[in-house]
Amino acid sequence: MTKYKRPVMPLYIIAALLFGLKTYIVYRFMFSIELDNIMQEFILLINPFVSAFLILAISVWFNKTSRQMKFIRYATFIASFVIFANVVFYRQFTDFITIPQLFMGSNMSDLSSSILTLIKPFDILLFADAALIWYLSKKQEDKLAVDYQKSGKLFALALSMALLAGNFFLAEMERPQLFTRAFDREYLVKNIGLLNYHVYDLVVHSKTESQRVFADGNELPEIQEFIEENVHVDENSDMFGAAEGKNVIFINAESLQEFVIGNEVNGEEVTPFLNRLIDDEDTYYFDNFYEQTGQGNTSDSEFLVENSLYPLSRGAVFFTHGGNAYHALPEIIKEEGYTSAVLHANNKSFWNRDGMYQSLGIDHFYGEEAYEVTEENSIGWGLMDKPFFEQSIKYLQSLEQPFYAKFITLTNHFPFEMKEEERTIDPYDSNSNTLNNFFPAVRYMDEAIEDFFAQLKESGLYEDSVIIIMGDHIGISANHNKAMSMYLDKEQITPYDQVQLQRVPLFIHIPGDGNGETISEVTGQIDMKPTILNLLGIEVEKDIIFGNDVFSEDRKGYIALRNGDFISDDYVSTMGICYNRATGEPIEVKPVETTEENENQTSNEDACAPIQEKVETELLYSDNLIYGDLFRFVDFKQED
């Protein structure tokens, strides 16, 4: 074995220090990580150094200088790439990458234009330390390598584990039950570091993948009991059968958020047609309707609507569990004579739709190949909405009635590109091009939907249909809060405001109904399946769902978001803070005077705590149904 002098500072320590410093800078300036106290700041500061030292200290176990140097430079480069990938991903989704998303590579060709807009020239600096380490490992390897005896190697290992344990101990003190209640990835990154978060995510992924293997259906009675006691799914509303026998035309309105409805930009209405539709006597409009998607975006909104189950917190159900058994809306209404179809001018493999739609019982999928897509009529993600609706009418007319047809629009999609000649209002003027361009794209979609209503009337389908328009997910992430606060005339976007921005429009238009109104009850995408079934007058003897009919008075009274936040009739819970929903003010937890009777009680109960417990249980049970593929053990045709 070649002997060499012990350096003043080994390369793996230099690499760990540089990588830790770089990662902390990224935390503070490229991620919007909320810090509430000095302890959180301290944990955020130390965790990248702990992670880097843990990984790079492995190099001391290599006896050959060349192997030691090779390990350090490749580990540094790979870790830097992980940081870079998360930075780019975070710019769009304000979230961190999960293992399941890495298996969604077939989406990359469709996402390429969006990804390129998210990469900035200065991102090259994220690899500056890796480049320096690469240079030093090549030119100074004899001076910077180490040759520890076994005791020295064991000491490096022990020190690594001690630092990791110390980090985890502080994290658990600051955020109790961090790993058992990890709905929010920001809490994990903030407390254990980005690299350790990815290791944790890998462990969770392996655990969840094994759930299906060991599931046997014994988990179902507990889930069903919870639903019976808390969800109240058996009560029919006054609207039961209001659209009996009618076609259902469902428009999944891409990235449409509630804040544009009724608002203006540059003195122009953003959504003039949808504004008029609210006032139509045949329209029911829900102005406190929330999107509940996770990392699957549009596909998650589809999953919520068809199943009244929550999407997963990691990855997209369409990809990870597209082969599961489900008891979806299309399958149920098929037994009542309905034909189902999805119309979406995009690649059928995107989000694994061609596979998932079979699992959901959808009869027809009119994808990209069903449309005439040219350079003139497409932009960004594909066929523009106006020609999309225009070309779709013939497919609607060919469907056997009654039918359930879902339209998924494309034009109002990040990065909200629009041809100049297609813009009928000017962009907003702020520091965010994304928000600026959002308004003309929304106006274009509004006009496309107005044209579609006219086409339905001309085709003779309008009177025999109920038309539902739903925003599928938000289009403007928290990364654009400075511009958003400017548009909304607020000093800043608070965590409470951020939750309110997850409201998306829901229109239920029933021609000839005459009783339309605006409904302000708290509702969400989880409620669409029972709502549609009740509107059609279809009673389901046996089902497992977590939503309520939006017209029902007997509701559970809260809407859970995928990250564990919730909105109830009285409260909003987010970022560990309980807010008064009406005022947006935090609700203080007041100390309780200690007496002999309550000597163990130090404060009154958080007003949000009882609902929070239900929310976490609900999300857990929904996850268990998916991970365990538990619907395969249920005969839904068999009466109780």
Q: What angle do CA 458, 463, 467 make, to 5 degrees?
A: 95
**Per the domain annotation, does 225 fall within a domain?**
no
Based on the fold, state whether residues 206 and 328 are members of the same structural domain. Answer: no
**Per the domain annotation, does 92 fall within a domain?**
yes
With a CB cutoff of 8 Å and minimum separation 6, the contacts of 61 are 153
Determine which of 224-238, 248-262, 399-413 has the lowest per-residue pLDDT on average.
224-238
Q: At what angle do helices 528-535 and 297-307 cross, to 10 degrees?
A: 50
Q: How confident is the model at residue 440 (pLDDT cuts 50, 70, 90)?
A: very high
Q: How confident is the model at residue 536 (pLDDT cuts 50, 70, 90)?
A: very high
Based on the fold, state whether residues 199 and 323 are members of the same structural domain. Answer: no
Convert the pLDDT of each residue in 110-153 to its tens digit: 555 567 778 889 989 999 999 999 988 888 766 777 777 788 78
What is the Cα–Cα distance from 49 to 52, expressed in whole angstroms? 5
- Please check whether residue 233 is in contact with residue 543, taking contact to mean a CB–CB distance below 8 angstroms: yes
Q: Which of 501, 534, 549 is the last residue of a domain?
A: 549
Residue 590: what pLDDT?
64
**Per the domain annotation, does 156 fall within a domain?**
yes
Convert the pLDDT of each residue in 549-598 to its tens digit: 999 988 899 999 999 999 999 999 998 899 999 999 999 766 555 555 55
Based on the fold, state whether residues 373 and 499 are members of the same structural domain. Answer: yes
Determine which of 4-8, 533-537, 582-586, 599-603 has the lowest per-residue pLDDT on average.
599-603
Residue 79: what pLDDT?
92
Among the listed residues 71, 81, 94, 69, the one whose alpha carbon sits nearest the alpha carbon of residue 23: 81
What is the Cα–Cα distance from 79 to 87, expressed in whole angstroms? 13
3 state SS of 172: helix
Percent of the chain with pLDDT over 70: 90
Q: Which of 549, 564, 585 is the last residue of a domain?
A: 549
Residue 640: what pLDDT?
44
Based on the fold, state whether residues 149 and 248 are members of the same structural domain. Answer: no
Residue 1: what pLDDT?
44
* 206: its two tokens: 């392996």
Based on the fold, state whether residues 268 and 186 are members of the same structural domain. Answer: no
Q: Which residue has the tokens 């006597």?
A: 281
Based on the fold, state whether residues 290 and 178 are members of the same structural domain. Answer: no
What is the Cα–Cα distance from 195 to 400, expressed in whole angstroms? 53
H or E stretch covering 329: helix 329-334
Residue 102: what pLDDT?
65
Mean pLDDT, the chain, integer: 88
Most confident among 376-380, 411-415, 465-469 (mean pLDDT): 465-469
Q: How confident is the model at residue 632 (pLDDT cuts 50, 70, 90)?
A: very high
Beta strands in 222-355 (DSSP E): 247-253, 264-265, 268-269, 283-286, 289-290, 339-343
Q: Which of 514, 549, 584 is the last residue of a domain?
A: 549
Based on the fold, state whether residues 409 and 479 are members of the same structural domain. Answer: yes
Most confident among 189-193, 210-214, 315-319, 433-437 (mean pLDDT): 433-437
Report the CATH number that the domain containing residue 259 is assigned in CATH: 3.40.720.10
Based on the fold, state whether residues 283 and 428 are members of the same structural domain. Answer: yes
Convert the pLDDT of each residue in 345-355 to its tens digit: 987 767 778 88
Based on the fold, state whether residues 276 and 206 are members of the same structural domain. Answer: no
Residue 34: what pLDDT?
77
**Per the domain annotation, does 99 fall within a domain?**
yes
Based on the fold, state whether residues 279 and 421 are members of the same structural domain. Answer: yes
Domain count of the fold of the chain: 2
**Per the domain annotation, does 532 fall within a domain?**
yes
What's the DSSP call for residue 404? E
pLDDT at 246 over 60: yes
**Per the domain annotation, does 434 fall within a domain?**
yes
pLDDT at 414 over 70: yes
Beta strands in 462-586 (DSSP E): 465-471, 506-509, 518-519, 523-524, 558-560, 566-568, 571-574, 577-580
Convert the pLDDT of each residue in 319-374 to its tens digit: 788 889 999 999 999 999 999 999 999 877 677 788 889 999 999 999 988 999 99
Residue 124, CA distances (Å) to 26, 129, 197 in order: 13, 10, 23
Convert the pLDDT of each residue in 136-195 to its tens digit: 888 876 677 777 778 878 888 888 889 888 888 888 887 766 765 555 677 788 888 888
510-513 long-range contacts, Cβ below 8 Å, gap at least 24? 510/242, 510/243, 510/246, 510/282, 510/283, 510/284, 510/466, 510/535, 511/282, 511/462, 511/463, 511/465, 511/466, 511/467, 512/282, 512/463, 513/242, 513/281, 513/282
Among the listed residues 249, 286, 234, the one whose alpha carbon sits nearest the alpha carbon of residue 532: 249
Q: How confident is the model at residue 602 (pLDDT cuts 50, 70, 90)?
A: very low
Residue 545: what pLDDT?
96
Among the listed residues 274, 248, 282, the one whose alpha carbon sits nearest the alpha carbon of residue 511: 282
- From the number of C-beta atoms within 10 Å of its C-beta (0-12, 13-18, 19+), residue 291 rates as buried
Based on the fold, state whether residues 362 and 262 are members of the same structural domain. Answer: yes
Based on the fold, state whether residues 24 and 132 are members of the same structural domain. Answer: yes
**Per the domain annotation, does 617 fall within a domain?**
no
Q: Give catalytic status of residue 94 as yes or no.
A: no
What mean pLDDT comes out for the span 291-295? 93
Convert the pLDDT of each residue in 458-475 to its tens digit: 999 999 999 999 999 999
Among the listed residues 15, 8, 48, the one whose alpha carbon sits nearest the alpha carbon of residue 128: 15
Domain, as residue range, for 435: 234-549
- From the number of C-beta atoms within 10 Å of its C-beta (0-12, 13-18, 19+), residue 287 rates as middle
Using DSSP bridges, classify how beta strands 378-379 and 382-383 pair: parallel, antiparallel or unpaired: antiparallel
Residue 2: what pLDDT?
47
Catalytic residue among 298, 320, 409, 531: 298
Mark out the alpha helices in 376-490 (DSSP H runs).
385-398, 433-459, 481-487
**Per the domain annotation, does 19 fall within a domain?**
yes
Residue 636: what pLDDT?
86
Percent of the chain with pLDDT over 90: 57
